[in-house]
A and B are shown apart, each in its own frame.
Chain A
Amino acid sequence: MAVLTIKNLAKTFNVGTPKASRVLDDISFDVRGGTFVSIVGPSGCGKSTLLNIISGVEEHTSGDISLTSDSGGPARMGYVFQDPRLLPWRSVMKNMMYVQNDRSEETVARARKYLDMVGLAKNADFFPGQLSGGMQQRVGIARAFAVEPDLLLMDEPFSHLDAITARGLRAQLQDIWAQSKKTVVFVTHDVVEAVELSDRIIVLQPGGRIYEDITIDLPRPRRQTDPTVATLQAEVLGRLEAMKTLSRTAAA
């Protein structure tokens, strides 16, 4: 069953002014429950705007979005941002609890479980300022999983980290996802990262249209050193290069 359905979605900034610019145009796709979908594309193609629209932080100009939840009630969303966005004046555990709707023992135990999964159970009482950037981002990931979301949105969560930390976190994310099987929409400009993590990659082209919808049918867990992963990464990268050339030619 589709958790997220998007039909003919469009977004224009500064509508009705001379500065009006369309960043998303005729976007339609759906995301089935328990799948990991990545949205890739060059900078400025509207990836983050699309995620903000899905989360409800931003309004769309036209089209439809529908979200369904297993419970039948309103769908719950989790969000992992480019930067950790933790409250600096609250401890790690209090940051985890801030986004929860209740303070029941079960919720506290769940928050602790996800902190443990990212290896930070011992740091529950630390303030964010006492943690490294990578550790803070791990708290951000644990926080998003701990709300038990129907849909988890991730906006380039590893783009501000060094290569080694990002690699470790990607592996950790794969493990957590394999255990929780949450529905994830993951925005990235890194094709290599997208192939490693996703079941499906939606490629956006400049102008905010869908260029291609690629299914990644590879066994998990995937590691970058795996030759089949590397081959597919090279293939997807080639298709993206072709798209860029096409866009440049069209623009010329």
Chain B
Amino acid sequence: MTDQLVGAAPVAPPADPEAGAKRTARRRRWRLTGLVILGWLALYGVWEYGSWWFGSRLLPTPYEVLLSAVEIVESGNFLTDFSASVLKTFAGFGVAAAVGAPIGYLMGRYNYWRAFFHDGVTIAGTIPAIVYAVMSLIVFGLSNLGPILAVALVSAPYIALNVAEGIRGVDKSLVTMSEAFGRTPQQIRKEVLIPTIVPYVFAAIRMCFAVAWKVEALTEVFGGRNGVGFQIRTEYQLYDIAAVLAWMFLFIVFMLIIERLVLAKSEARLLSWRPQERSSAL
């Protein structure tokens, strides 16, 4: 036994640690990609099985939905309704940012304003989206303003609370450092305050985006004259479930593109200083 140990092969020289780290990162990325594909395949399998179980009239197969989506895109109505929904979502989101961000700033910066807004914002954030949808339709009727108001009302509390948290999370020692070096309040705002709240703002945008388009579509289902929600209602009345799912599918694709190509990319660029962003870029 001892002889075997003594006569063991010499220990190999340590490999290049940087190459090793890159190899590990590559392997991790492949494993993650594999899991994403597996997730999609599982979803597809469940859907196919569901179609077989319920019958394709009640739950059309993925292929039927895809055909219907192609038909919608080719019909020409797609762009008009789609852009109407997207524009209303963005407009609502813009209103929410214009109202929510200053409220969040005041809540994060001053205790008095925090006391003034806190309960109102919390209550506004807990009211179900459907209540906002119905209220907006009552106030604005069948105009485009209904969905915009609904999106704004649902998103504004999220934005306000996240911006407030961001402001409260500012590292005081960096502010003291800036003051000790004679930096002006404008410089401190630009170099310390805003970079601190950027991650919080991104979290708010992502959260709001996921909720905003659902509320927008829901409001159109109840009382829209155009848009994806309106088309979903029309197809539902015609009992064309494949078309209902196709509209939903197209909207999801668009939102995924926005999320992955616009939000995720700009977040990675703006937050490249964070260790987790750098390691994911390896």
Q: Which residues in A have some Cβ–Cβ distance to B below 8 Å?
A: 55-57, 76-79, 81, 83, 85, 87-90, 98-99, 101, 127, 129-130, 147, 153
B196 to chain A, nearest CB (A): 8
Contact mask for chain B residues 250-282; partner A; CB cutoff 8 A; 1 contact, 0 none: 000000000000000000000101110010000
Q: For the complex, is B75 an interface residue (Cβ under 8 Å from A)?
A: no
If A85-B174, A89-B195, A90-B191 touch, whether A77 touches B274 (CB-CB below 8 Å) is no
Q: How far is the CA of A89 from the CA of B277 in the complex (A)?
A: 12
* Interface contact A127-B273, CB-CB below 8 Å: yes
Q: How far is the CA of A77 from the CA of B177 in the complex (A)?
A: 12
* Interface contact B195-A87, CB-CB below 8 Å: yes
User: Which among B4-12, B23-31, B178-186 touches the partner chain?
Assistant: B178-186
* Interface contact B274-A81, CB-CB below 8 Å: no
* Interface contact B173-A81, CB-CB below 8 Å: yes
Residues of B within 8 A of A98 (CB): 178, 181, 183, 187, 191
Known: A55-B180, A88-B274, A101-B182. 9 other contacts (CB 8 A): A56-B179, A57-B179, A77-B180, A88-B273, A90-B273, A98-B181, A98-B183, A129-B274, A130-B278
Residues of A within 8 A of B278 (CB): 127, 130
If A57-B179, A78-B181 touch, whether A87 touches B191 (CB-CB below 8 Å) is yes
Give 7 closest A-B pairs by Cβ, nearest first.
A99-B181, A85-B177, A79-B180, A89-B273, A89-B195, A127-B273, A55-B180
Q: How far is the CA of A129 from the CA of B271 in the complex (A)?
A: 12
Residues of A within 8 A of B179 (CB): 56-57
Q: For the complex, is B176 an interface residue (Cβ under 8 Å from A)?
A: yes
A142 to chain B, nearest CB (A): 13
Chain B residues numbered 80-117 whose CB sits less than 8 Å from any CB in chain A: none
Residues of B within 8 A of A99 (CB): 181, 183
In the complex, 20 of the A-B residue pairs with CB atoms within 8 angstroms, ordered by the A residue number, are A55-B180, A56-B179, A57-B180, A78-B181, A79-B180, A81-B177, A83-B173, A85-B174, A87-B174, A88-B274, A89-B195, A98-B178, A98-B181, A98-B183, A98-B187, A99-B181, A99-B183, A127-B273, A130-B278, A153-B180
Residues of B within 8 A of A87 (CB): 174, 191-192, 195
